[in-house]
Structures are given as structure tokens and as C-alpha cells.
Amino acid sequence: MPDNNIEAYIEESREEVERLNSGVKDFAVFDFNHIPDKPLIREEVRKIIDVLVKYHQTGIPRHIVIGGPRGSGKTLTLKYLAKTFSRKLSLPFYAANCRVHNTSFKALAHMLKVRPRGYSYSELCCKFEEQIPGKAVIVLDEVDLLSEKDFRKDILYFLSRSVRRFNVVLLSNNPKFVNTLDESTRSSLQPDLLLFRNYSAHEVLEILRDRATAGLHSWDDALLAEIAALTAKNTNSDIRVAIKTLLYVMTHEANSVADCFERARHDIMGDMLQNLNDKALLVLRSAMDEPTGFVKQVYTRYCQLSRAMGEDPYSYYYFYSNLAFLQSVGLLLLVSAKVDRAYTNRIHPLVSKEQIDAVMTARFRIE
């Protein structure tokens, strides 16, 4: 392309992009942080509403842990409730995502909107009790990702013991999260456990229809049903894959719906891999190398690989709970298998070797 034709080329490119995107009315509804005006409300949400309404009236909290696989609407539900409760009942919500704010200290500082430097942990706790006015709901999203260094999970102990009687809501992809807490925290929290099951294909379809209505000029219902079916069958009903597939189909990212679906799933798995900590990444990588897939053998490989990478390996106990976490985010499957009359678990990774190696190479600077 001759240099002097750049302007013409920009114009040509702009027209092409406009043509490809012409089916989309509003890209914002395809953003994962988008909060729909009327999200699909699952039955379990009533229970959360009942608890919080009671808290608003009596000031007596009942803490809740919400578990459920990735893409089952935990984050969205709490964001939507936060908006609605503060509008209808002036009950404020304070939230921190523990993936980002991964220690008790950082999570408190984030909710107080102060920089973590310059305070001690106990000063921050006092400040929190002084500054948050009246009754308040405290939401810790992805609470299972609080750093292992924060092994006593002090923030949970503090919130559950505080004289201010906040109502705590914890969200976790790992439904067994509560079992990992120490006894004193667990007994002072005494949370009710609520499980968000996977959406059915029908619910995925409803959610897609809602996005299509808000974000597209026109669409074909059979297409939405096809995406919903693929998502329910192949991803544990991760709505994010469905929403991304719809966007890819509408913007002609690939030729067929099946190809768009594969691409969306690949992209979302890639994001998830990027977000894993080093240890979890090594666990997953070791599972790829072990032909039998048996948990014990994978653990041996994992210890070898960790040492080769200069990382301290997890104890077997933490290794095992990490497998449950990796399963909950859809990166592997644990399947029970019978060997010599005993049962053991076999690991099936759900990502490709190429994809994980790309992340490992960047992370560990392997040549």
C-alpha cells in the first residue's frame, strides 16, 4: 500500500468495520460488567432478599456464603441487589473483589477508599467501624482468592465479631470455601450456605434474549437457542461464553456458530488462565503431562515441576483443594475412577497444552 493512500485505507477499513458491526445497536450490553435493567432472577435470590430485608429492619445480621460455578450470576446478582437496596431501602453495600484486593488489609482499605499505606491493620479496622454509617452489607467477592499468606482470613473474623453488626455476604466459586476457614472464624460467622446451580439451557436462552433485545437491531431466535444449547452442553453453562459467542456471531468473527462458540470459549479460558496464580498454573500444567491423570501421580509431577521452576510446592492438602477450585472455574474435570478395588480421582484438563504453555512461557520467562 503506497504511503499516500493511508487516508483512503483508513476510510475503507472504517466502512468495512461498520458493515460487519451493523447488526449491533449497543456494544455495552455485551460487556461482562453490564448490569441489565431486569436480570433473570433465580429462585435462590429470594432467600438473599429475605435475609437482607430482615437485617434492615432488625439490625441482626445473618451472614451468607453464596457458592456456585463461574458465570452462574453471583457477582451480577449482588451488584443488582446493591443498586436496588440502596435505592429502595437506603441500605448501603460495600464490596471488594478479593482477586484484586487479596488481603484483609487491602480489602478494608478498598472499601474505605483509602490508600493502604500509612495505617496499621488495627487502625484500619477502627476506621472502618467509625466511618461506615449505620447498618451496612459487606460483600466480599471471590473470597476464596484471599491470599494464602492471609491464612487466618482476619477480615472475616473482624467483620463477624464487630460490634457494628454488619451483614456479611461472601461469594465464592469454590462451594467448599467455608471448610477451609479456621474454627473460630467459622463459628463466629455461622454463615448460611446458598448454592447457585448452573443455569439450564432455557435460562441461558432467556438471558441471551434479554441481551439481544437491548443490544441488537434484529436477531434470529433459533440462533440464540443454538448458542444456549452449546453453552449448556459444553461449558457448565458459563453465561459469559454464551454472551461472547453471540457478539462474535453478530460481528462475523468466524464463519459458523460452532466456530464462534469455540473461539469465545477459547478466549474466556485464556482470560481465566491469565488470572491463575503461579501455583495453580503449575498444578494444571502437571496434570497435562501425566498420562494416567491419577491425582497422586499428578501431585508427584507437580512437586517436581514446582522445584524446577523455583517454587515451593503446595502440601498435598492444598494441592487437592486447588483441584476443586480449578474444577469450579471450568479448567479441569475430576472424574472418579476405580483402580484395584479402590476409588481414586482422575484429572481431565479442559484447556489445550498450547494455550497453557503460552501463559507459562510469558509468566516464567521460559525460552
Ligand X SMILES: Nc1ncnc2c1ncn2[C@@H]1O[C@H](COP(=O)(O)OP(=O)(O)O)[C@@H](O)[C@H]1O
Burial 153-178 (b: 16+ CB within 10 A, else e): bbbbbbbbebebebbbbbbbbbbebb
Q: How many Cβ atoms are within 10 Å of 254's Cβ, its own excluded?
A: 16
The entry of ligand X, Mg ion, none near residue 207 (CB within 5 to 8 angstroms by kind) is ligand X
The entry of ligand X, Mg ion, none near residue 72 (CB within 5 to 8 angstroms by kind) is ligand X
CB 330 within 8 A of CB 236: yes
Taking CB under 5 A as the criterion, the residue among 48, 52, 66, 75 binding Mg ion is 75
The entry of ligand X, Mg ion, none near residue 114 (CB within 5 to 8 angstroms by kind) is none
User: Which residues contact ligand X (rule: CB under 6 A)?
Assistant: 32, 34, 36, 39-40, 68, 70-76, 207, 239-240, 243
Closer by beta carbon to ligand X, 215 or else 293:
215
Instruction: Give min distance, CB of 338 to ligand X, in A.
Output: 33
The entry of Mg ion, ligand X, none near residue 285 (CB within 5 to 8 angstroms by kind) is none
The entry of Mg ion, ligand X, none near residue 186 (CB within 5 to 8 angstroms by kind) is none
Closer by beta carbon to ligand X, 77 or else 306:
77
With vertex at residue 290, the alpha carbon angle to CA 284 and CA 292, rounded to the nearest 5 degrees, is: 120
Print the binding letters for residues 20-59 with Mg ion: x by CB under 5 A, - otherwise: ----------------------------------------
Separation of alpha carbons 272 and 331, rounded Å = 8
Closer by beta carbon to Mg ion, 295 or else 329:
329
Q: How many Cβ atoms are within 10 Å of 269's Cβ, its own excluded?
A: 21
Task: Identify any residues that bridge with 349 across adjacent strands, giving them in sequence order.
Answer: 332
| Closest-approach residue to ligand X (CB) | 73
Instruction: Give min distance, CB of 67 to Mg ion, in A.
Output: 11
Q: Judged by CB under 5 A, which stretch of 70-78, 158-166, 195-203, 281-289 contacts Mg ion?
A: 70-78
137-141 and 93-97 strand pairing: parallel
Residue 239 to residues 42, 66, 96, Cα–Cα distance (Å): 14, 18, 22
Q: Cell 494416567 appears where?
A: 292
Closer by beta carbon to ligand X, 40 or else 257:
40
Closer by beta carbon to Mg ion, 172 or else 245:
172
Burial status of residue 127 (CB atoms within 10 A of its CB: 0-12, 13-18, 19 or more): middle
Instruction: Give min distance, CB of 74 to Mg ion, in A.
Output: 5
Instruction: Give min distance, CB of 269 to ligand X, in A.
Output: 14
167-172 and 93-97 strand pairing: unpaired
Closer by beta carbon to ligand X, 203 or else 290:
203
Closer by beta carbon to ligand X, 141 or else 290:
141
Separation of alpha carbons 274 and 276, rounded Å = 6
CA 59 to chain centroid: 30
Q: Judged by CB under 5 A, which stretch of 75-83, 210-218, 231-239, 334-342 contacts Mg ion?
A: 75-83
Q: Which amino acid is at 186?
A: R
CB 161 within 8 A of CB 184: no
Enter the C-alpha cell of residue 145: 482468592
Instruction: Give min distance, CB of 339 to Mg ion, in A.
Output: 36
User: Which residues contact Mg ion (rule: CB under 5 A)?
Assistant: 75
